[in-house]
């Protein structure tokens, strides 16, 4: 660990089972993590960042329905004590829905029962994901067993966050990433082209007039694109997109 993440602090659940399956590492200059509870399937603690404070549980569910029951008991006990935002993240080794497994044996009710009951009883929600659909594969069966779930307080007090399911590379699991600290807004927003502009009566004329200003060489193409970007922003502003969206949403409701 000192070679991989020098000057970081780290903690494992060694001593709570035949293998120390869970490791937590944090950069102490930016994050404070206080361990509050440890078992063979859960490490639980308090996270403090520059702007946020929440409770965090890293999980590694064991490989059978029977052996995972201790994990669900532990998480229920923690839920009874927690009064603030709570994030649970890791390899649950368990699925919730039939869509969570592709190929392999048919999903049975007893495989999803414990997870579903925990989510309902403790009022937990899964954070939305972007990226890959399944988080583990043996190149034949594809399963979604790695998740990030949160309690109701998190949904109310924390900003809307997504879980990025990253490429596994040399692993059989896809790593999960949640960016809790949102970078400060620099004031500059990326250019977005709205598809409806292509149907605007002034679109083709605007592009033609501004593209004809500079000719030849790549620097000319770059300058033309910058000019057209400015004109597209003006065209979008004149169209009053926000008012259009409000009207459409009202009609949809």
Check residue 184 and give its pLDDT.
56
Check residue 121 and give its pLDDT.
94
Among residues 131, 118, 29, 130, the alpha carbon closest in space to that of 77 is found at: 118
Is the dihedral angle over the CA atoms 196, 201, 206, 211 positive or is it negative?
Answer: positive
Token code pair at residue 240: 């009053």
Model confidence, pTM: 0.71
**DSSP secondary structure letters along 154-204:** HHHHSPP--EEE---TTSSB--EEE--SPPPP-S-------GGGGGSTTHH
Check residue 239 and give its pLDDT.
74
Check residue 75 and give its pLDDT.
97
Note the Cα 173 to chain centre separation in Å: 15
Check residue 211 and give its pLDDT.
80
Q: Specify the DSSP element, H or E, that contains 41.
A: none
Q: Which residues contact 173 (CB under 8 A, 6 or more apart)?
A: 91, 135, 136, 146
Check residue 224 and give its pLDDT.
81
Query: 109-121 vs 65-81: helix axis angle to the nearest 10?
Result: 0
Provide the β-strand partners of residue 91. 60, 146
Contact 199, 166 (CB under 8 A): no
The pLDDT tens digits along the chain (253 residues) read: 888 888 899 999 988 877 788 999 999 999 999 999 999 999 999 999 988 999 999 999 999 999 999 999 999 999 999 989 999 999 999 999 989 999 888 888 888 999 999 999 999 999 999 888 999 988 889 999 999 999 999 988 888 888 999 998 888 899 999 988 766 555 566 777 778 888 888 888 888 888 876 666 777 777 788 888 888 888 877 777 777 777 888 888 8
CB atoms within 10 A of CB 16: 16
Q: What is the pLDDT of residues 22-55, one digit of tens each?
A: 999 999 999 999 999 999 999 999 999 988 999 9
Check residue 198 and give its pLDDT.
85
Check residue 135 and give its pLDDT.
93
Among residues 116, 125, 121, the alpha carbon closest in space to that of 158 is found at: 125
Check residue 213 and give its pLDDT.
67
**Cα(122)–Cα(200) distance, integer angstroms:** 50
Check residue 228 and give its pLDDT.
84
Check residue 19 and give its pLDDT.
78
Angle 24-28-33 from CA coordinates, rounded to 5°:
50
């Amino acid at each position: 660990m000192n070679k991989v993440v020098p000057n970081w602090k780290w903690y494992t659940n060694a001593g709570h089972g035949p293998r120390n399956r869970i490791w937590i590492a944090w950069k102490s200059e930016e994050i404070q993590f206080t361990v509050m509870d440890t078992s063979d399937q859960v490490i639980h603690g308090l996270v403090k960042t520059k702007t946020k404070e929440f409770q965090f549980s890293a999980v590694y569910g064991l490989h059978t329905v029977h052996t995972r029951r201790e994990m669900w008991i532990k998480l229920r006990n923690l839920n009874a004590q927690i009064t603030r935002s709570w994030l649970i993240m890791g390899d649950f080794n368990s699925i919730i829905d039939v869509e969570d497994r592709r190929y392999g044996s048919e999903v049975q009710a007893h495989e999803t029962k414990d997870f579903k009951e925990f989510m309902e009883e403790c009022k937990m929600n899964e954070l939305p994901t972007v990226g890959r659909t399944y988080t583990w594969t043996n190149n034949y069966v594809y399963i979604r067993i790695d998740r990030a779930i949160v309690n109701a307080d998190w949904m109310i007090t924390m900003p809307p966050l997504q879980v990025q399911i990253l490429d596994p590379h040399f692993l059989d699991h896809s790593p999960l990433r949640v960016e809790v600290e949102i970078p400060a807004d620099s004031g500059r927003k990326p250019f977005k082209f709205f598809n409806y502009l292509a149907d605007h009566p002034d679109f083709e004329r605007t592009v033609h007039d501004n593209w004809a200003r500079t000719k030849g060489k790549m620097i000319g193409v770059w300058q033309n694109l910058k000019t057209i970007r400015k004109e597209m922003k003006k065209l979008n502003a004149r169209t009053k997109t926000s008012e259009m969206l409000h009207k459409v949403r009202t009609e949809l409701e």
